Amino acid sequence: MTRRAFITLLGGTAAWPLAARAQQPSKLPTIGLLGAGTRSGWTDWVAAFVQRLQELGWIEGRTVAMEVRWAEGRSERYIEIAAEFVRLKVDVIVTVGSAVDAVKQATSVIPVVFAAAVDPLGTGLVASLARPGGNITGLSMQSADLAAKRLELLREVLPDLRRLAVMGNVNYPAAVLEIGEV
């Protein structure tokens, strides 16, 4: 081996650690998914979410990471899970409207997207539907807005209706708003 070939070989091998370091992946963007119910109850929803992410080019484990936590119907777990997501430094939190208050208390920096909220304006989740403000946005089901219309339709179907009982969870602010509209 000539001296020139040896120096070239030595110089090339010295650069390997630099090339290896440059190719190491950086931290993937991370989605924190806070499910209000159980894994079995939300399987189809999560599968649809992951499928849509894939269609948009976000492949779990390759281009995006997901941290999924389940409250299992216990609203007191929202605060615990939200605090965990803040500690994990997720890039966005996806949840449902009932969990947003807990997430809102945990962070004012991490973007929060709720998949469905009954009345985000009436419950104080957002400043307005057109411009939610802060770090929170999502989809409104507008069911409180439609509550009176549903009652009107019921009266058309049952014109002799004289009494109506409405049941709801008084600990769920959106249900209270909807009952008030009825």
* Integer Cα distance of 63 and 34 in angstroms: 20
Q: In the beta sheet, which residues pair with residue 33?
A: 68, 94
Return the DSSP state at 139.
E
Both 137 and 148 in one domain: the answer is no
Both 81 and 98 in one domain: the answer is yes
The total number of structural domains in the chain stands at 2
In tens, the pLDDT along 78-123 reads: 999 999 999 999 999 999 888 988 999 999 999 999 988 877 887 7
Q: Residues 27, 40, 171, CA angle at the centre, nearest 5°?
A: 95
Both 109 and 149 in one domain: the answer is no
Q: What value does the mean pLDDT take over residues 40-55?
A: 92
Both 79 and 163 in one domain: the answer is no
Both 167 and 113 in one domain: the answer is no
Q: What pLDDT was estimated at residue 6? A: 42
Both 129 and 39 in one domain: the answer is yes
Record the pTM. Answer: 0.71
Q: Which residues contact 137 (CB under 8 A, 6 or more apart)?
A: 111, 112, 113, 114, 126
